[in-house]
Amino acid sequence: MATLLGGSPWTRIRVLPDFAPLLLRRSSLYNLNKFRNLSVSASSIPSSSSDFPKKAGEGEVRVRFAPSPTGNLHVGGARTALFNYLFARSKSGKFVLRIEDTDLERSTKESEDALLRDLSWLGLEWDEGPGVGGEYGPYRQSERNSLYKQYAEKLLDLGHVYRCFCSNEELEKMKEIAKLKQLPPVYTGKWATATEDEVQGELAKGIPYTYRFRVPKEGKLKINDIIRGEVSWGLDTLGDFVIMRSNGQPVYNFCVTIDDATMAISHVIRAEEHLPNTLRQALIYEALGFPMPNFAHVSLILATDRSKLSKRHGATSVGQFREMGYLPQAMVNYLALLGWGDGTENEFFSLQQLVEKFSIDRVNKSGAVFDLTKLRWMNGQHLRSLPPEELIKLLGDRWKTAGILTQAEGAFLMEAVELLKDGIDLITDADQALSNLLSYPLYATLASPEGKTVLEDKLSEVASSLLAAYDSGELKVALEEDHTGWQKWVKGFGKSLKRKGKGLFMPLRVLLTGKLHGPDMGASVILLHKAGTRSVIAPQVQFITLEERFKMLREVDWEGLNKDQPHLESAVVVSH
Residue in 308, 311, 374, 491 annotated catalytic? 311
Report whether the peptide linkage leading into residue 46 is cis, meaning its omega lies within 30 degrees of zero.
no
Q: What are the CA-CA distances from residue 280 to residues 190, 254, 369 (Å)?
A: 21, 8, 30
Strand partners, 308: 302
Q: What's the CA gap between 216 and 283, in Å, rounded?
A: 10
What phi, psi does 438 have (nearest 5°)? Answer: -80, -15
Kind and range of the H or E run holding 261: helix 252-262
Number of Cβ within 10 Å of residue 33's Cβ equals 10
Number of Cβ within 10 Å of residue 131's Cβ equals 9
Active site residue 365: no
What phi, psi does 306 have (nearest 5°)? Answer: 70, 10
Q: What's the CA gap between 308 and 301, in Å, rounded?
A: 6
Burial 46-77 (b: 16+ CB within 10 A, else e): eeebeebeeebeeeebbbbbbbbbebbbbbbb
Per DSSP, 37 falls in state E
Q: Which residues contact 195 (CB under 8 A, 6 or more apart)?
A: 25
Q: Are 211 and 164 in contact (CB under 8 A)?
A: yes
Angle between helices 502-513 and 482-497 (to 10 degrees): 120
What phi, psi does 432 have (nearest 5°)? Answer: -65, -35
Which residues are the active-site residues?
311
